Every structure is written in C-alpha cells, then in structure tokens.
C-alpha cells in the first residue's frame, strides 16, 4: 500500500520504470512534468486491493455522483508528448511491437461500482414546507427563505433631479477648505456639466410637450424668439397666456403683457419739467454727448438758457469737452469742466439756482473697474441722478451686462439711442422690461434737438414684435426652434433674472 515515485527523461522512460518495478498491473496515481523530465506516482495492484478492503470495512457514506469518478476510455501515450495526461488508475497492456509506444488501459480492480438509487416519481412540493417522502437527504433539508424582494422605487421627476443636483452642487461649494483641491474642482466641473445637460434635456421635454398639447403657444413662443426676445421673458409670458386663445388673440395678449410691464415717461412727468442734476452715463460710443446737447436744447426752449448749465468730466478724449462747448455756444449755455469729485461738488454748489444741470461723463466699457469709481464720484458730489444710455443695436446679453455694471439706486432711468439703426427693438425692450428700468427718452438720429422723443409705446411694441423677412437667414426653421429653445430655457433658469 505504498505509493512510489518514478522519474524519467520522457514519459516512456518513466512508464518503463513503473512496469519494471511494480509489474504490468501497476496503478498510476499521478503524473506531472518536473525540471529535467516527467515524474509519475504509482502503486501496485495488491496495494490498491488492500486499500479497497479497508474502505469496505469503514461505515458506508453516500457518495455524490460526479463526472470525474466515471472511468475514462483508454488513452495512448505518444513518445513525443511533453506533458502526458494519464487518467487515474490506469494499467499497462502488453507492449506493442518495437517502435510503438505503450498503451494505457484501466484496471478492472480500479472500477468501483456506483451506488444504486431507485427511480422516484416527481411530486409537487408541499405547501407546508415538509419534505417529500423518499426524497434524498439534501432535498429533505428545510429550504432557506428567499430574501424579500426590494420594492420598486418610483422614477424621480424632472424637478426632483434638478433639485438633487442643485443641492449636491451647494454642498460641494460649501466645503471651503476643499475648494482648492483639484479633485473637488474636477468633481464640481463634472457635476455642473451634468446639471447643464439635464437642464437642457428637461427644457427639451417641456418644449416637446408644448408643441403637442398647445401648438398655438409653441408658435407664438417661436415668433418671440425670432423677434429677439429672451427665452426667459418669452417663456414666462407664453406660460401665463390663457389656453383657449388662438394665434391673433394670443399675439394681442402678448403685446399687452409686455406693455403692462414697460415703464415709460409721459409728457406729464417729463424730466425737463421736473428739473434737477442729471449725469448721462454709459459705454463708449453710445451717444452721451449728442444726447446731452439734445436735452439741453429742449430745456433752453422751455425755460431759457440762463436756467441751464452744462458740465463735462470727459478729460480723456481729445477734443471731447470742445464738442460740448460748441453746443453750449450755440445754445448760449456756459460749459464747465470738472476733474474730480471735489471739483464737481464745488461747481454744483455754485450752480444751485439753475433749473437743470446736465453732466456729460467719460464713456468706458462696462467691464472697466472705473465704472464703480465714476458712480462713487457722482454720489459724493450730492444729489446727482444718472441716466443710462443703452445702444438699441446691441445684443440682449450685452445690454444685460451694461445694466448690471451701471445699476444703482441713483439710476433715474435709461435712454435708448440709435433706434433708427437697429433691425429689431426686441432685445433692448426686453432688457428694459426684465430689469424694471424707466424708459425716459428714445433717440433715433443725430439731429439736435429733433431726434429725441418721449417713448411712443405703440411704436416701440410694433417694432419689437415685428418678424424678420421671410428670406432672412436669421429666421429659424421649425426644427431649429426645437434645438434652440432648450438651450435658451436652460440658460434662463441658470441666470435667474427677475421680472417686474
């Protein structure tokens, strides 16, 4: 009952040594490749028989049927195989003629019969969980209860997804000590990208629902976008519009809604009649000096030249104050040049008896930090009200940028300039309505003082809602509106601008 180890350079050499040592009925236990050759573990047939007697004397244990325990067919071992595969418990047959390899076969003593199990008919499982009669031991064991099936979670709505992303973004931004961590910054950028993508998709869903359920609203919304209105104002007005209105009634309703939100001066509350100190501010090239001359001419016509004074703080541009001096000489009005806030305060104190004082300021970009310094200088000078000039030919986002830079409590109103040069008044009127500005005057040319007027609401609304020409390349097609509207709606939601 001893297992012996045999080593040979090839499988043939090793098998020959096994046969010479243990006889032709030797049992091969295992074989494997080792450095330098092949190693075979084998035992004699008598040892296997003694081992079988010992196993029969032990208590019988039900064996599980396995495919590996079944005998395999005889396998021939080739002389040139590098890693021979020999089935368990083979025996050696008679050697073949010279030049042939040995033949491996299973010994009859190694073939152990499988335990017999009688056939049992299938019976349905019992409801009380008791084992079936005659079932194997493995089947008679009480089955474990299945884990509870998780409840299906409801699909979150679009509002819940947007709120979750916004909350997560605020949580990450609130971590002040982690704000400089590159990984946190990358995470925040990815979350913002996902948020923007979801917002656009949600806006696209809303647009698709509108086109299916309210085609009139969708058409009117597209017309406002083509005219130049912002997505925020157009969407809010269309959402507030009654459902049962047709196209013509819907257009009238939208025009009336914009008209109700538009604040303008009338002849009863004209700034010329009220008087005071007004400083005209705004970006470069918007027409501040020319508009100052137009207001001065209107004041001189009504109250005389001795009731008006002109000031200029523009000492940067070459000949800037000379242009205003020429207007002053034509009108018979003195022009004063001020350098700083102290000089402005002293000059205004000397001009207390004037009905109106107009100040022409330095034009500067809305992104220039000197805008805040200019506003502080005018505030320190006393009771100075500012009039913001807006270029009607600018885009809506540019006008928003200008209004945010020049906003303040001392802003008395705005003046739309270059109305005659713009193709659409919708962006300018949209910005005035959304920011709640008071539209004081409209300038539509270079003539002094003819090209300055009080706002004509009907004319402004007609120009604002006028559609582009049919052959215009800037007119949106049906499918292009569906692509543009989600982007505009998402941008409007992120901006969070308020309507008055």
pLDDT of residue 427: 93
Give yes or no: residues 306 and 455 share one domain. Answer: yes
Domain contains 235? yes
Burial of 276 (0-12, 13-18, 19+ CB in 10 A): middle
Domain limit, last residue, from 259, 274, 297: 259
Domain contains 303? yes
Domain contains 145? no
Give yes or no: residues 227 and 291 share one domain. Answer: no
Q: Give the phi and the psi of residue 40 in degrees, each rounded to 5.
A: -125, 130
pLDDT of residue 214: 64
Give yes or no: residues 293 and 418 share one domain. Answer: yes
Domain contains 341? yes
Give yes or no: residues 245 and 327 share one domain. Answer: no
Copy the structure tokens of residue 221: 């919304």
Copy the structure tokens of residue 182: 């590159």
- Count CB-CB contacts under 10 A for residue 362: 18
Give yes or no: residues 190 and 331 share one domain. Answer: no
Q: What is the largest CA-CA distance in the chain?
A: 141
Domain contains 135? no
- C-alpha to C-alpha distance for 32 and 38, rounded to whole angstroms: 6
Give yes or no: residues 239 and 299 share one domain. Answer: no
Domains identified in the chain, total number: 3
Domain contains 58? no
Domain limit, last residue, from 242, 259, 276: 259
Domain contains 500? no
Q: What confidence tens digit (pLDDT) does each residue in 144-200 have?
A: 666 665 555 555 666 676 677 677 666 656 655 555 677 777 777 888 778 777 766
Give yes or no: residues 447 and 346 share one domain. Answer: yes
- C-alpha to C-alpha distance for 355 and 409, rounded to whole angstroms: 22
Burial of 305 (0-12, 13-18, 19+ CB in 10 A): middle
Domain contains 493? no
pLDDT of residue 371: 78
Q: What confidence tens digit (pLDDT) does each residue in 420-476 have?
A: 898 889 999 999 999 999 999 999 888 888 889 999 999 999 999 988 776 777 666
CATH code of the domain in which 392 resides:
3.40.50.300
Give yes or no: residues 182 and 246 share one domain. Answer: yes
Burial of 283 (0-12, 13-18, 19+ CB in 10 A): buried
Reduced to 3 states, what is the DSSP secondary structure of residue 12?
helix
Give yes or no: residues 171 and 266 share one domain. Answer: no
Domain limit, last residue, from 206, 231, 259: 259
Domain that holds residue 318: 262-467
Query: Contacts from 372-375 at CB under 8 Å and sequence distance 24+?
Result: 374/281, 374/313, 375/281, 375/406, 375/408, 375/410
Give yes or no: residues 325 and 397 share one domain. Answer: yes
Give yes or no: residues 309 and 450 share one domain. Answer: yes
pLDDT of residue 158: 64
pLDDT of residue 90: 46
Q: What are the pLDDT tens digits along the chain (500 aa)?
A: 578 888 888 888 888 888 888 888 888 888 888 888 888 888 887 777 777 776 655 554 444 444 444 444 433 333 344 444 444 444 444 444 444 444 444 444 444 555 556 666 666 655 555 555 555 555 555 556 666 655 555 556 666 766 776 776 666 566 555 556 777 777 778 887 787 777 666 655 555 565 556 677 878 888 888 888 988 898 889 888 888 888 888 899 999 999 999 999 888 888 998 889 999 988 888 888 889 999 999 999 999 999 999 998 865 555 556 778 888 888 889 888 888 888 888 888 888 889 999 998 887 877 777 777 787 888 888 788 989 999 999 988 899 999 988 888 888 899 999 998 988 899 999 999 999 999 999 998 888 888 899 999 999 999 999 887 767 776 666 555 555 555 555 454 444 444 43
Give yes or no: residues 284 and 164 share one domain. Answer: no
């Amino acid at each position: 009952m001893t297992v012996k180890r045999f080593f040979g350079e090839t499988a043939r050499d090793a098998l020959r040594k096994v046969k010479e040592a243990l006889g032709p009925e030797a049992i091969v236990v295992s074989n494997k490749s080792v450095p330098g050759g092949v190693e075979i573990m084998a035992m004699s047939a008598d040892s296997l028989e003694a081992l079988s007697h010992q196993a029969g004397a032990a208590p019988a244990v039900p064996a599980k049927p396995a495919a590996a325990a079944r005998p395999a067919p005889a396998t021939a071992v080739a002389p040139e195989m590098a890693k021979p595969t020999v089935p368990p418990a083979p025996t050696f047959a008679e050697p073949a003629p010279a030049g042939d390899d040995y033949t491996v076969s299973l010994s009859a003593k190694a073939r152990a019969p499988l335990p017999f199990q009688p056939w049992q008919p299938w019976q349905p499982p019992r409801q009380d969980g008791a084992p079936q009669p005659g079932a194997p031991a493995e089947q008679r064991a009480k089955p474990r209860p299945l884990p509870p099936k998780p409840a299906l979670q409801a699909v979150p709505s679009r509002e819940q997804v947007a709120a979750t992303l916004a909350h997560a973004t605020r949580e990450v931004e609130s971590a002040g000590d982690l704000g400089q961590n590159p990984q946190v910054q990358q995470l925040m950028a990815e979350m913002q990208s996902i948020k923007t993508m979801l917002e656009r998709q949600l806006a696209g869903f809303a647009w698709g629902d509108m086109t299916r359920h309210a085609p009139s609203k969708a058409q009117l919304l597209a017309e406002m976008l083509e005219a130049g209105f912002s997505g925020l104002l157009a969407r809010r007005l269309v959402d507030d519009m009654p459902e049962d209105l047709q196209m013509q009634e819907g257009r009238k309703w939208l025009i009336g809604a914009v008209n109700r939100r538009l604040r303008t001066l009338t002849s009863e509350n004209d700034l010329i009649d009220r008087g005071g100190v007004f400083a005209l501010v705004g970006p470069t090239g918007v027409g501040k000096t020319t508009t100052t001359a137009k207001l001065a001419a209107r004041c001189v016509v009504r109250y005389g030249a001795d009731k008006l004074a002109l000031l200029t703080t523009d000492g940067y541009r070459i000949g800037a104050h000379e242009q205003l001096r020429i207007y002053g000489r034509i009108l018979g009005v003195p022009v004063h040049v001020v350098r700083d806030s102290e000089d402005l305060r002293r000059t205004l104190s000397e001009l207390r008896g004037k009905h109106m004082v107009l100040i022409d300021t330095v034009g500067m970009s809305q992104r220039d930090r000197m805008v805040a310094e200019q506003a502080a200088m005018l505030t320190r000078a006393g009771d100075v009200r500012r009039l913001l000039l807006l270029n009607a030919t600018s885009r809506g986002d540019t006008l928003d940028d200008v209004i945010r830079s020049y906003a303040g409590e001392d802003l008395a109103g705005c003046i739309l300039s270059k109305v005659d040069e713009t193709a659409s008044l919708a962006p300018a009127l949209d910005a005035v309505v959304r920011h709640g500005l008071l539209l004081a005057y409209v300038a539509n040319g270079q003539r002094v003082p003819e090209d300055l007027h009080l706002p004509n609401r009907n004319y402004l609304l007609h120009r604002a809602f006028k559609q582009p020409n049919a052959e215009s390349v800037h007119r949106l097609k049906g499918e292009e509106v569906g692509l543009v509207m989600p982007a505009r709606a998402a941008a409007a939601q992120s901006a969070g601008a308020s309507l008055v």
